[in-house]
Amino acid sequence: MKNHITLMAALAALALAGCGKPPAATSSSGPKVESKPAAAAEPKAPGSDKLNVFCWSEYIPQSVIDQFTKETGIKVSVENYASNEEMLAKLMAGGGSYDIIQPSEYVVGALVKEGLLHPLDPAKVPNLKNIAPQFLNLPFDPGNKFSVPFMAGTVGIVVNTDLVKDDIKGFTDVFQDKYKQNIVVLDDAREIVTWGFFTEGVPINQVTDENLAKVKPLVSKWLPLVKVYDSDSPKTALLNGDVAIGVVWGGEGAILLNEDKKFKWVLPSEGTHLFIDSLAIPKASQNVANAEAFMNFILRPDVSKQISDAFPYLNPNLAARELLTAEQRANKASFPPDEDIKKMQMFEDIGQQASKIDEMVTSLKVQ
């Protein structure tokens, strides 16, 4: 399991250390995909030719990074993380002088509140106009003064129909004794507890001690049934046939559906949440102009399409969606129906209660 930290504790430490210049980030490379023909080049930012990107793993194809460097001359260093908490812990520890991060919605809101993001110059990110209105001007960043939507998605259930003949509709159908050691789930404590909240009819951000106690018996029953915990690539266990059913990210589900028709995608009947991952610039960035140029590049339709081709999450870029094939747009794991999206809740910062979630799930895993 990933090491989790309390969001507000990390932010408090980050606020104290945010003005220092930590060592440069190490680089890593992601999966390769075919580059598309380049549109008009982005202007090279004055002064520096560097950009340090700290982003989710399996989210930005290496070909996109290479294309940005080819068009602008800006050298990009990429470092990956697998959770918001890991990203914040690295920032807190001074592990890199980052210019771009990809926080989720509740983290954007907390970072804005603490004054730890650099405000954006709208004139430098004109491609923001390509984003669907439903993903703009949201409560965590009114007016998108500090962030631009990059990718969105949901959590759902993938079923290998060759191995599971039952009609799976929700979490309670997945977590049954007959599927013991045949299940993969996201290695994310808040996600797991949230599934319990949905099942018990509890709003997902009302993380009180009473509500945690209410769902603990349910989660305690579920976790011994799980064979694999994986937040990076839960699809792997399903593709390899190690498990027959899983609770995974929408983008992972979409890849499985594209890979083999035996896989079925199910939005849990109890409910699921919407996540929005954004691009933002830390206050301590040394290359703000380059970061804004990168944001605008990522929001360009042809570039955004490349990202969807490689990692088929819910793309909020309407102009990019027009470049996708009809089959891509019809993949329900990538693009849930609008009527379902409207019903979805989004995570909010829950402060010190996050540590209680981690403690509960960690203790139940080893029972």
- Alpha-carbon gap, residue 367 to 363, rounded angstroms: 7
Are 39 and 148 found together in one domain? Answer: yes
More confidently predicted of 47 and 171: 171
pLDDT at position 13 is: 46
Domain assignment present for residue 328? The answer is: yes
Q: What is the pTM of this model?
A: 0.85
pLDDT digits (tens, 9 = 90+) for 114-167: 899 999 999 999 999 999 999 999 999 999 999 999 999 999 999 999 999 999
Band of residue 8 on the pLDDT scale cut at 50, 70, 90: low
Structural domain harbouring 79: 7-152+276-336
Residues 227 and 314 in one domain: no
Same domain, yes or no: 223 and 177? yes
Name the amino acid, one letter, at 263: F
Sorted by sequence, the CB contacts under 8 Å of residue 341 that are 6+ apart come out as 134, 274
- Domain membership of residue 341 (yes or no) is no
pLDDT reported for residue 96? 63
Do 108 and 226 reside in the same domain of the chain?
no
Q: How many structural domains does the chain have? A: 2
Question: Could you please report the per-residue DSSP string of 28-62?
Answer: ------PPPPP-SPPPPPSS--EEEEEEESSSS-H
pLDDT, residue 34, reads 34
pLDDT band for position 14 (cuts 50, 70, 90) = very low
Judge whether 78 and 53 are in contact, CB under 8 Å.
yes
Indicate whether 185 and 289 sit together in one domain.
no
Mark whether 192 and 85 lie in a shared domain.
no
Residues 318 and 350 in one domain: no
**How high is the pLDDT of residue 281?**
96
User: So what's the pLDDT on residue 82?
Assistant: 80
Q: What mean pLDDT is predicted for residues 168-188?
A: 97
